[in-house]
Amino acid sequence: MNLMLFGAPGAGKGTQAKFLIEKYNIPQISTGDILRAAIADKTDMGMEAKKFMDEGKLVPDSTIIGIIKDRLAESDCKDGFILDGFPRTLPQAESLNELMSDMGISLDRVISLNVPDELIVGRITGRRVCPKCGASLHVEFNPSKEEKVCDYCGGELIIRKDDNAETVKSRLEAYHAQTAPLIDFYTNMNVFTELDGTKDVSEVTKDMIESLS
Ligand code: ADP
Ligand code: ADP
Ligand code: ZN
């Protein structure tokens, strides 16, 4: 199963990806996580990408496409994968189609989690993430049992550097200007399914699993 989770920053893609990993036993490919790992490793690519990420701007397509090309070639992707936060521009979507067609595979479904901008700000500013296992919790909507401790792995929960009210604005602008055009692109490919992402986490999961069966 080759899936993609689509939606604004903070729509719940990472949260829902965790359930798909378990259900289908396929890896989540988050370009955001890969970029943050490169920053932690202080690679040239990471240092270059950081400038864009700190400002809430998209990282250049050439960097992102290179990352995905390498990642899809890894052996754990052979039975499928969940794309999370990629593609975010038309050139990225076109490159993905080309890449997948070269690999003899195609996208089974793009699941869009629809959440209006007004709700996004609260989701992003209250987000607490676990750098160790990638869990994405929320101080109000999805709190950890113990403050600052990840429920899943015991790691320390942190606030992402770009999760502030200032950066959210530019990230939403980038989403509407550069990413939203992909809605038509994937609707035309007949793979686009829209879900109400404002429901509780467990309800969204239920709708998502239902839409895939
Ligand atoms: P969120 O889930 O909150 O949108 P991500 O972890 O997906 O955050 O992305 C964090 C940042 O990494 C983005 O704001 C952007 O700068 C960069 N980024 C991640 N994925 C892409 C992509 N596919 N294209 C361009 N930039 C990306
Ligand atoms: P994305 O990967 O799309 O950027 P996340 O999965 O990281 O989004 O979710 C953003 C924030 O919103 C996190 O703090 C998460 O715990 C919270 N969240 C996710 N889904 C929901 C939901 N259905 N209702 C309320 N809060 C949610
Ligand atoms: Zn964790």
Give the catalytic positions in this structure. Answer: 13, 88, 127, 160, 171
Q: Which amino acid is at 64?
A: I
Tokens of 157: 């929960």
What span, in angstroms and rounded, lies between the C-alpha atoms of 208 and 12?
12
> What residues flank ligand 2, with Cβ below 6 Å?
7, 9-15, 123, 126-127, 136-138, 141-142, 199-201, 204
Residue with CA nearest ligand 2 atom 23: 201
For residue 110, the model assigns a pLDDT of: 98
Residue with CA nearest ligand 2 atom 5: 12
- Confidence class for position 57, pLDDT limits 50, 70, 90: very high
For residue 139, the model assigns a pLDDT of: 97
* Three-state DSSP class for residue 38: helix
- List pLDDT tens digits, range 172-189: 999 999 999 999 999 999
What span, in angstroms and rounded, lies between the C-alpha atoms of 7 and 13?
7
For ligand 2, the distance from its centroid to the CA atom of residue 118, given in whole angstroms, is 14
Q: Cβ neighbours of residue 62 under 8 Å, at least 6 residues apart?
A: none
Q: What is the CATH number of domain 2-115+178-212?
A: 3.40.50.300
Pairing of strands 127-129, 81-84: unpaired
For residue 148, the model assigns a pLDDT of: 96
For residue 112, the model assigns a pLDDT of: 98
Q: Could you give the residue ranges of the DSSP H alpha helices within 58-103?
A: 61-72, 90-102
Of all residues in the chain, what percent carry a pLDDT higher than 70?
A: 100
For residue 97, the model assigns a pLDDT of: 98
- Confidence class for position 116, pLDDT limits 50, 70, 90: very high
For residue 51, the model assigns a pLDDT of: 97
What span, in angstroms and rounded, lies between the C-alpha atoms of 189 and 172?
25
- Confidence class for position 28, pLDDT limits 50, 70, 90: very high
For ligand 1, the distance from its centroid to the CA atom of residue 35, given in whole angstroms, is 8
Contact 16, 207 (CB under 8 A): no
How big, in percent rounded to 5, are the helix, strand and coil portions of the chain?
50, 15, 35
For residue 49, the model assigns a pLDDT of: 98
For residue 10, the model assigns a pLDDT of: 98
Residue with CA nearest ligand 2 atom 22: 201
Query: Where do the domains of the chain lie?
Result: 2-115+178-212
Number of the ligand closest to the Cα of 153 = 3
For residue 197, the model assigns a pLDDT of: 98
Q: What is the atom index within ligand 2 of the atom nearest the CA of 138?
A: 14
Number of the ligand closest to the Cα of 88 = 1
143 cis-preceded (ω within 30 degrees of 0): no
Stated pTM of the model: 0.97
Q: What is the mean pLDDT of residues 105-110?
A: 98
Contact 75, 69 (CB under 8 A): no
- Confidence class for position 20, pLDDT limits 50, 70, 90: very high
For residue 29, the model assigns a pLDDT of: 98
Number of the ligand closest to the Cα of 90 = 1
Q: Cβ neighbours of residue 23 under 8 Å, at least 6 residues apart?
A: 209
**Is residue 177 classed exposed, middle or buried when 0-12, 13-18 and 19+ CB atoms within 10 A define those classes?**
exposed
Of all residues in the chain, what percent carry a pLDDT higher than 90?
A: 98
Tokens of 107: 């996208």
For ligand 1, the distance from its centroid to the CA atom of residue 106, given in whole angstroms, is 23
For ligand 1, the distance from its centroid to the CA atom of residue 33, given in whole angstroms, is 8
Across the chain, what does the average pLDDT equal? 97
Regarding the beta carbon of 12 and ligand 1, being less than 6 Å apart is answered no
